[in-house]
């Protein structure tokens, strides 16, 4: 194996000197810190945020028009003055009038859940077609403590509980409409659809028909049953929705206690012991000792046509198999489709797919969609000097037998070429105004302490500069010649999250982190049509210790030209804020509130003594203006 170290001289324990170097580079490269030239890197490393006139800068040139909200631990949504929110849909809301309203006591049945909005909404996208608004939403997983709160075990105890759990996962497609300023789901719309763990899918790309995908349920290896644990999302210029399978492994278990999990499945975290989903209780597919290839049919990007309720979703194996976060699709100037994707696990990697053929906006959707079946897959290598390379994953570079092997065991391929182990790559978003891409590296307690599951070391350095990284950072890069298909890029850190009220070293965060905008664990990131970067967090909400004064999870807006970051929203207790999409006119921002009260301490959104429910909310400005 080649070296995995982006910064060979960085020892296990960080020193101010190493960080100074990084910070100095970050400062000198960042135009928005141009006013700070002359401030020493040590000052930067010591968290001297007051040395940077961010507030003055914000006043003079800010593109953000709202007043920042303060961190808090309230059990509601907090927005800046002049903004309002409402619930569009919550877990258990029926999509059809034949379904039943959410039952607070039982929390639903298998049948009611199949007819209702799933749990734990995450990535989403709004499609507007013939004046209809179609919202496609991932239902990542179920918050078992709440979802099965009618069971003392907080787990499925019978076949109907499993049916309900499987229907709580997957995707929801629903028409939404705005009447008198309020958004609501259109019950019985012909667009409404649930896709769950049992929905048939086609497998496309290099791994289609491969022996490793052949199972008792599909001996041809060309079909797959269902999708689950879809985290972030993507959307294509040809109008399809991409759902991204993340922690697919946690649903498999073995009825044979002595069954040895293969190294390949172990790399993806498949274990013999059930983690509480109990799906194998009534669906043998999830018994890995009986059907070891089943897990090979998960971990992909799934493409869905949200406007055709009869269409069969397609698993795109050409984009690799890993714990996908989202899929950011860009059309390069030369016409190739480029998809940037993170693998969210400690010490895993950042990927790029480049289509073999070119996008043609006049071609049929079917033809453009096929672009995701064939192309090259790359993995990122970051060098310490602010430059990086995309390493091709081919049989030649990886020593693996075929492209199908690479598309199924993508993590193993990436390890073989010595890619840079990252601090959990979450969402990737491309700046609409220039060839520049951002990725949230959420946190990594193992940085500098522990290798990844493939044994690759994780020394601090490069874009992952802090050992035991509790706070996370956002890295950005620009491809050479503004060409998204180029194999080289330059990079820097846009922000390092931290806590300046607790730390005075690198853990205080970068210069654009202050006591007024601090947060931990950036996760969902997305540019809006005006080029503002929105940042959502999935962090610790204890409000204590390292996280003192940071409050609940939140959403912030950033001006990437100046580095300014301002808090826009604070979520209710024990939630994650994840998933966003805008109405076409830019006047409604839809936001996902996932697992409020995951530890039992919320009644969002219904209040009183109600069961907390994950929800999609719509945010509008009271004067009817643009958000942000």
Interface with ligand FEO (CB under 6 A): 140, 231, 246, 325, 344, 426
Report the nearest approach of ligand FEO to the CB of residue 628 (Å).
Answer: 24
Per the structure block, which two tokens stand in for 525? 């990131």
Per the structure block, which two tokens stand in for 517? 């905008």
Site string for Ca ion, 397-426 (x = CB under 5 A): -----------------------------x
Report the nearest approach of ligand FEO to the CB of residue 406 (Å).
Answer: 22
**Torsion sign across C-alpha atoms 57, 59, 65, 70:** positive
Comparing CB distances to Ca ion, the nearer of 332 and 495 is: 495
Comparing CB distances to ligand FEO, the nearer of 204 and 429 is: 429
Report the nearest approach of ligand FEO to the CB of residue 441 (Å).
Answer: 11
Comparing CB distances to ligand FEO, the nearer of 376 and 426 is: 426
Instruction: Give the DSSP per-residue string, 55-93.
Output: HHHHHHH----SPPPPP---SS-B--TTEEEEEEEETT-
Of 18, 287, 576, 598, the one binding Ca ion (CB under 5 A) is 576
Binding partner of residue 246 among ligand FEO, Ca ion, none, CB cut-off 5 to 8 Å per kind: ligand FEO
Measured in whole angstroms, the distance separating CA 33 from the mean position of its chain's CA atoms is 28
Report the nearest approach of ligand FEO to the CB of residue 258 (Å).
Answer: 32
Comparing CB distances to ligand FEO, the nearer of 280 and 326 is: 326
Total Cβ atoms within 10 A of residue 612: 27
Comparing CB distances to Ca ion, the nearer of 275 and 587 is: 275
Report the nearest approach of Ca ion to the CB of residue 247 (Å).
Answer: 9
Q: Tell me the window of 267-275, 294-302, 378-386, 522-530 that interacts with Ca ion (CB under 5 A).
A: 522-530
H or E stretch at 264:
helix 263-267
Comparing CB distances to Ca ion, the nearer of 163 and 235 is: 235
Report the nearest approach of ligand FEO to the CB of residue 140 (Å).
Answer: 6
Report the nearest approach of ligand FEO to the CB of residue 427 (Å).
Answer: 8
Report the nearest approach of ligand FEO to the CB of residue 519 (Å).
Answer: 16
Q: Determine the Cα–Cα distance for residues 623 and 621; give it in Å rounded to an integer.
A: 5
> What is the chain's Cα-based Rg?
23
Q: Which residue in 198, 153, 168, 159 sits closest to 107, CA to CA?
A: 168
Q: Tell me the window of 6-14, 388-396, 535-543, 547-555 that interacts with Ca ion (CB under 5 A).
A: 535-543
Per the structure block, which two tokens stand in for 258? 């002595």
Beta bridge partners of 525: 535
Where are the strands (E) in 451-570, listed by range? 473-479, 488-496, 522-527, 533-537, 554-558, 565-570
| Residue for token pair 């009447």 | 179
Does residue 317 contact residue 408 with C-beta atoms inside 8 Å? yes
Q: Determine the Cα–Cα distance for residues 266 and 278; give it in Å rounded to an integer.
A: 19
Of 523, 528, 559, 574, the one binding Ca ion (CB under 5 A) is 523
Binding partner of residue 576 among Ca ion, ligand FEO, none, CB cut-off 5 to 8 Å per kind: Ca ion
Does residue 531 contact residue 560 with C-beta atoms inside 8 Å? yes
Where are the strands (E) in 145-293, listed by range? 170-179, 182-185, 193-195, 200-204, 223-225, 230-235, 241-245
Binding partner of residue 436 among ligand FEO, Ca ion, none, CB cut-off 5 to 8 Å per kind: none
> Residues in contact with Ca ion, total (CB under 5 A)?
5
Q: Is 598 in the site for Ca ion (CB under 5 A)?
A: no
Comparing CB distances to ligand FEO, the nearer of 307 and 339 is: 339
The CA distances from residue 12 to 425, 447, 448, 584, in Å, are 21, 9, 5, 48
Report the nearest approach of ligand FEO to the CB of residue 424 (Å).
Answer: 7
Report the nearest approach of ligand FEO to the CB of residue 623 (Å).
Answer: 35
| Residue for token pair 């499945």 | 265
Binding partner of residue 574 among ligand FEO, Ca ion, none, CB cut-off 5 to 8 Å per kind: none
Does residue 500 contact residue 509 with C-beta atoms inside 8 Å? yes
Q: Which residue in 417, 380, 379, 373 sits closest to 395, CA to CA?
A: 417
Q: Which residue's CB comes closest to Ca ion? A: 538
Report the nearest approach of ligand FEO to the CB of residue 423 (Å).
Answer: 12
Could you check whether the bond before residue 605 is cis, i.e. omega within 30 degrees of 0?
Answer: yes
Comparing CB distances to ligand FEO, the nearer of 140 and 161 is: 140
Comparing CB distances to ligand FEO, the nearer of 138 and 458 is: 138
Comparing CB distances to Ca ion, the nearer of 407 and 441 is: 441
Comparing CB distances to ligand FEO, the nearer of 19 and 228 is: 228
Of 161, 436, 456, 538, the one binding Ca ion (CB under 5 A) is 538
Burial 380-403, CB ≥16 within 10 A → b, else e = bbbbbebebbbbbbbeebbebeeb
Q: Determine the Cα–Cα distance for residues 138 and 150; give it in Å rounded to an integer.
A: 24
Residues 435-474 that bind Ca ion (CB under 5 A): 442
List contacts with Ca ion (CB under 5 A): 426, 442, 523, 538, 576
């Amino acid at each position: 194996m080649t070296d995995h170290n982006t910064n060979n001289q960085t020892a296990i324990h960080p020193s101010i000197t190493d960080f100074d170097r990084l910070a100095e580079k970050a400062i000198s490269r960042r135009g928005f810190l141009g006013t700070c030239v002359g401030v020493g890197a040590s000052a930067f490393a010591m968290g001297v945020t007051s040395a940077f006139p961010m507030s003055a800068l914000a006043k003079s040139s800010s593109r953000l028009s709202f007043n920042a909200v303060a961190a808090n631990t309230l059990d509601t949504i907090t927005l800046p003055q002049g903004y309002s929110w409402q619930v569009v849909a919550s877990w258990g809301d029926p999509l059809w009038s034949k379904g039943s309203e959410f039952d607070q006591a039982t929390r639903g049945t298998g049948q009611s859940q199949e007819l209702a909005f799933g749990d734990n909404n995450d990535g989403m996208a709004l499609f507007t077609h013939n004046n209809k608004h179609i919202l496609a939403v991932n239902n990542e997983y179920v918050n078992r403590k709440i979802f099965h709160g009618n069971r003392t075990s907080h787990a499925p105890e019978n076949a109907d509980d499993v049916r309900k759990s499987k229907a709580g996962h997957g995707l929801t497609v629903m028409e939404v409409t705005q009447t008198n300023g309020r958004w609501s789901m259109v019950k019985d719309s012909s667009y409404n659809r649930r896709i769950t763990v049992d929905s048939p899918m086609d497998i496309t790309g290099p791994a289609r028909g491969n022996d490793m995908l052949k199972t008792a349920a599909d001996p041809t290896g060309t079909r797959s049953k269902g999708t689950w644990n879809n985290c972030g999302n993507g959307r294509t210029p040809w109008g399809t929705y991409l759902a991204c399978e993340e922690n697919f492994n946690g649903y498999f278990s073995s009825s044979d206690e002595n069954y040895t999990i293969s190294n390949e499945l172990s790399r993806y975290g498949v274990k013999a012991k059930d983690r509480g989903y109990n799906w194998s209780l009534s669906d043998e597919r999830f018994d890995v000792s009986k059907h070891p290839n089943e897990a090979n049919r998960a971990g992909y990007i799934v493409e869905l046509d949200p406007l055709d309720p009869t269409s069969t979703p397609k698993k795109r194996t050409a984009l690799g198999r890993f714990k996908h976060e989202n899929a950011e699709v860009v059309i390069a100037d030369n016409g190739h489709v480029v998809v940037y994707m993170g693998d969210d696990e400690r010490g895993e990697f950042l990927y790029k797919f480049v289509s073999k053929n070119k996008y043609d906006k006049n071609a049929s959707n079917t033809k453009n969609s096929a672009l995701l079946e064939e192309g090259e897959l790359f993995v990122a290598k970051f060098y310490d000097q602010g430059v990086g390379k995309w390493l091709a994953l081919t049989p030649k570079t990886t020593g693996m037998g075929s492209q199908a092997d690479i598309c199924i065991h993508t993590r193993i391929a990436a390890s073989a070429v010595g890619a840079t182990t990252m601090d959990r790559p979450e969402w990737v978003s491309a700046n609409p105004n220039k060839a520049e891409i951002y990725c949230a590296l959420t946190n990594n307690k193992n940085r500098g302490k522990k290798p990844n599951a493939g044994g690759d070391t994780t020394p601090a350095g490069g874009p992952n500069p802090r050992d035991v990284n509790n706070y996370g950072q956002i890295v950005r890069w620009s491809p050479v010649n503004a060409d998204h298909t180029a194999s080289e890029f330059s990079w820097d850190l846009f922000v390092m999250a931290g806590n300046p009220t607790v730390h005075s070293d690198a853990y205080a965060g970068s210069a654009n982190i202050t006591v007024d905008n601090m947060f931990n664990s950036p996760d969902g990131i997305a540019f809006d049509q005006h080029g503002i970067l929105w940042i959502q967090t999935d962090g610790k909400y204890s409000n204590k210790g390292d996280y003192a004064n940071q409050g609940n999870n939140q959403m912030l807006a950033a001006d990437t030209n100046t580095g300014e970051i301002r808090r826009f929203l604070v979520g209710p207790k024990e939630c994650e804020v994840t998933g966003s999409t805008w109405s076409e006119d830019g006047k409604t921002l839809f936001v996902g509130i996932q697992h409020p009260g995951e530890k039992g301490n919320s009644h969002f959104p219904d209040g009183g003594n109600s069961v907390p429910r994950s929800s999609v909310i719509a945010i509008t400005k009271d004067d009817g203006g643009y958000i942000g």
